[in-house]
Amino acid sequence: MQKPELYNGSPMEWGDYLEIFESVAAWNGWTEWDEATQLRMSLRGPAMKVLKMLPPQTKDNYECLCEAMQSAFDPPEQVLMHKAAKYGPDIPERPRASLPMCCTH
């Protein structure tokens, strides 16, 4: 069994972390509940603080956890600013999955 790496909430790394995490999940054949549980166990520091702010009923929902992490650590405006700084006017497009708005604070 492969184990996911820890995520501490480093800005601009959520998208990369999620890609690796989901590869590990696919390799291990995890269910969505397994993914949510493994993701919760992988969070540290600022990312753990975001988890603690979520309503209890959403902590077993993988999509809600991903939405909360993306909102906190990879908001669209930060992604655009980072890409502009890195690539200049030739910003590559990166499709993103649309997650439901299920986490309310």
Q: How many angstroms separate the CA atoms of 68 and 101, rounded? A: 9
- Predicted confidence at residue 13, as pLDDT, reads 83
Quick check: 60 pLDDT over 80?
yes
Q: How many angstroms separate the CA atoms of 1 and 45, rounded? A: 25
- Predicted confidence at residue 33, as pLDDT, reads 96
- Predicted confidence at residue 34, as pLDDT, reads 97
Question: pLDDT category, 10, cuts 50, 70, 90?
Answer: confident
Percent of the chain at pLDDT > 90 equals 57
Reading the block at residue 56, the tokens are 């209890």
Q: Is residue 39 within 8 Å of residue 62, measured between CB atoms?
A: yes
Domain boundaries, the chain: 14-86
Q: How many angstroms separate the CA atoms of 101 and 67, rounded? A: 7
- Predicted confidence at residue 1, as pLDDT, reads 86
When pLDDT is averaged across residues 13-21 and rounded to a whole number, the result is: 90
